[in-house]
Amino acid sequence: MFTQEQIDALRPEMQDSMMGILGIELCPSTDDTVRGTMPVTRATSRPPGILNGGASLALAETLAGYGSYSVLGSHTGAFGIQVSANHISVARMGDRVVGVARPVHIGRSTHIWQVDITSEATGRLVSSIRVVNFVANIGL
């Protein structure tokens, strides 16, 4: 859904946001998915050095949000209204997780995204997360 040029254009707004703080980076994608990575660092982990479930949710909501953003017009915004997560395995400090968001439903008033997060080191599924976004006119 995003080319490298589009990601580069969005980079300034990402740097000073939660994305920048957590190290979330969007990756180019040539299909209908939104992809991103996040390192497992002190900022994204909990003792004893494993990925915090809240950081996984932040990655999932970010990818789903950018997914909705990519299909909406300029006067429309998407706002997360529901998240359901299953945390299946752990990712450890020093690892990087990869998130892939796939659209399940793209409607006029709601978008539903399935986000699977895997460990780059082990290839194992870490979390499977469903995100529902509400679509609204933001009146710009």
User: Where do the domains of the chain lie, and which CATH numbers do they carry?
Assistant: 4-137 (3.10.129.10)
Judged on CB neighbours under 10 Å (0-12, 13-18, 19+), 90 is: middle
Residue-level pLDDT at 14: 80
Instruction: Please state, in angstroms and rounded to a whole number, the distance separating the CA atoms of residues 26 and 139.
Output: 27
Active-site residue, from 5, 25, 61, 120: 61
Q: Which residues are 67's β-sheet partners?
A: none
Non-local CB neighbours of 138 within 8 Å, separated by 6+ positions = 75, 76, 77
30: number of Cβ within 10 Å: 8
Residue-level pLDDT at 140: 54
Non-local CB neighbours of 5 within 8 Å, separated by 6+ positions = none
Residue-level pLDDT at 138: 78
Token digits for 115?
Answer: 């986000």
Residue-level pLDDT at 3: 86
User: Among this protein's residues, is 13 annotated catalytic?
Assistant: no
Q: What is the pLDDT along the chain (140 residues), one digit of tens a residue?
A: 788 898 888 888 888 899 999 999 999 998 999 999 999 999 999 988 999 999 999 999 999 999 999 999 777 889 999 999 999 999 999 999 999 999 999 999 999 999 999 999 999 999 999 999 999 987 65
